[in-house]
Amino acid sequence: MSDVRNLWRGTIAPVQKECVEKTGVRQETINDFLKYGTISEDPGSKCFFHCVDFKLGIINSAGDFDAEKAAKLYDYVDVSLAQKCGAIVEPDP
């Protein structure tokens, strides 16, 4: 599975630096997710992933999640899986 997440590095690369600067998330936190699938409870981590998805056009300004776009951009994610992930709602950190 880490091979799949490793492919996502290329997907997030165009916006990663900007989102790291905006959220203050540590690079180690991003690396832990991409290598181990660990999602930190750190608010900066959640804000980072929101920023990435917003910048990639997966989440719009109203907060709507585009599962089809997520499936197109992220390797090995199909629409069904993207819908499942997009349905998870958590309070803003």
Query: Could you give the domains of the chain?
Result: 2-86 (1.10.238.20)
Percent over 90 (pLDDT), the chain: 59
Q: Which of 40, 34, 38 is nearest to 4 (CA)?
A: 34
The DSSP code for 56 is T
The span from the CA of 13 to the CA of 52, in Å, is 9
Q: Model-level pTM? A: 0.83
5 close to 34: Cβ distance less than 8 angstroms: yes
Output the six-digit token pair for 86.
Answer: 């997009």
Q: Of 93, 74, 71, whose CA–CA distance to 82 is shortest?
A: 71
Q: Per residue in 45-76, pLDDT tens? A: 989 999 999 999 999 999 899 999 999 999 88
